A and B are shown apart, each in its own frame.
Chain A
Amino acid sequence: MKRYGMVIDTLKCIGCGDCVVACKTENKVPEGLCRDWIVEEVKGEYPHLQMEYRSERCNHCLHPLCVYACPTGASHIKKGTNITLVHPELCTGCKACIAACPYDARFVMPQGYVSKCTFCDHRLEKGQLPACVSVCPTHCMYFGDLNDPLSEVSQLLKRRKWKVLAPEAGTKPQVYYLT
């Protein structure tokens, strides 16, 4: 099984938003909606401040609460991977998955079905990287199979300090932030 993961170096990210634009273009995400977004977090008290930019998206969790909450099977895990996808033709737009996601990564498309980041599954099938990773001008985004100990993402997580978002939620998210 492939455990796809994204590793984002917060020390290199400048919050330019190219990943967001690339995603919207690649996946034809309608105006006003987005599958990924930039968070600017400032911590501490003046003058001892720390700022961090994060490109956030669906975490393709190993324990996907959204999939468990879906009453029709529209939200599912792609066979042989940890990629969480939505079948538009099975989705009723009940929004149970939206309520179940601790990362608020899902949204309703104008047609009525729920959508979210797919790690650009269609590009992976062609051997390409997700659109966001492929356009990042600072090369702060990495993508690969975390079950492969020799992959770039596995090596980065071995060498560097990292964090995931809301690990206490118990979802085992697969988007990692190098700090």
Chain B
Amino acid sequence: MGGLTAGILILSSLALLRRKEAAFPTISYKLPLWGPVLLSVGMFFLFLDLEYKAHFWRFYTAFRITSVMSWGAWILLLVYPVNGLLILITLEKGYPRFAKKLMEWIGEQNWQSWQQWAQKHSGRIAGVGILVGILLGMYTGILLSAFGARPFWNSALLGPIFLVSGVSTALALAALLSSQNEERKAYEWSDFWLISLELALLGLFLITLFSSSALYQQSVNSIMGGKWTLDFWLLVVFFGLFFPWLLEMLGRMGKNIPPAIAPILVLLGGLYFRYVILEVGQISTWIPY
């Protein structure tokens, strides 16, 4: 969910910064509202994963420079105001009925003064949106790669992979939400290139593990004949990446492909990719007992 929100922030901010709202209305106007909703769902699950739930607020009583998770906790807090400002700029065009209700609740004068301020600084907000989106998108990958005790995670490529995967899933969501055929095709074609990049990065990730020391080579065993082989190669790589990549290419070549299949597969594949990486990483260890 964090990756998806990161992708939303990056894409919406890019469209705003480059004044491409007319060409990409779904990304520009509709996606920003989905950001905090999806992020909150993700944070709810993070909360559920805490063993000492009553102490969740302790994250925000300290900033530990050596702890990637501490950086992440504060980055997550940055996302909400930035995403909120993007919503303020775009909501009336994306979800006019909801915007009207919100305006009534907040007060028309307040809403308009905030909106005017946000629109005046839209360039800066979009710039910060891209930066925060990149930080959020890379965060989980960097967090995992910083755990030297888990050889499978200990790769600098995880951050970029998580970022590309997040933007790819955001494009898939935009393709699902879009009601215009041409716009949807543009998203799918962009997603085709992002999936290509993700496949290449994933390949490089595995190559770097294989060409490293014995410990790292052993860490790949779980997906190379071990317990997670089928999950990784069939569900993540084939159904989550390669198959939608193929469908998007065939769609570009003019074949009649049902439009929802590829985006749904990308979204499910992105989610399952994270699950498999987390599980495989946790069982890779320095002490084999």
Contacts and interface: CB of A to CB of B under 8 A. Distances in A.
A112 interface: yes
A74 B58 contact: yes
Given A70-B64, A72-B61, A72-B62, A100 B55 contact: no
Contacts, number: 98
Interface stretch (A11-19, A26-34, A116-124, A162-170): A162-170
> By CB atoms of chain A within 10 A, which of B50, B52, B66, B68 has the most?
B52
Interface stretch (A1-9, A85-93, A139-147, A149-157): A85-93
Contacts of B67: 68-71, 96
20 contacts: A69-B66, A69-B69, A71-B59, A71-B64, A71-B70, A71-B72, A72-B59, A73-B64, A92-B50, A93-B50, A94-B50, A99-B149, A100-B148, A103-B286, A103-B287, A104-B285, A111-B52, A166-B287, A168-B215, A169-B286
B56 interface: yes
Given A68-B67, A69-B68, A92-B56, 17 more contacts: A65-B148, A68-B66, A69-B67, A69-B147, A70-B64, A71-B64, A72-B59, A72-B62, A72-B64, A73-B64, A90-B55, A91-B55, A92-B52, A93-B53, A100-B149, A112-B55, A166-B287
A71 B73 contact: yes
A96 B148 CA distance: 12
A109 to B, nearest CB: 8
B282 interface: yes
Nearest to A105: B287
A113 interface: yes
A70 B146 CA distance: 12
B62 to A, nearest CB: 5
Interface of B: 49-56, 58-59, 61-62, 64, 66-70, 72-73, 146-150, 215, 282, 285-287, 289
A65 B149 CA distance: 8
The 8 closest A-B pairs by CB, nearest first: A93-B51, A112-B52, A93-B52, A71-B70, A102-B149, A102-B286, A68-B66, A71-B69
A95 interface: yes
Contacts of B51: 92-95, 108, 112-114
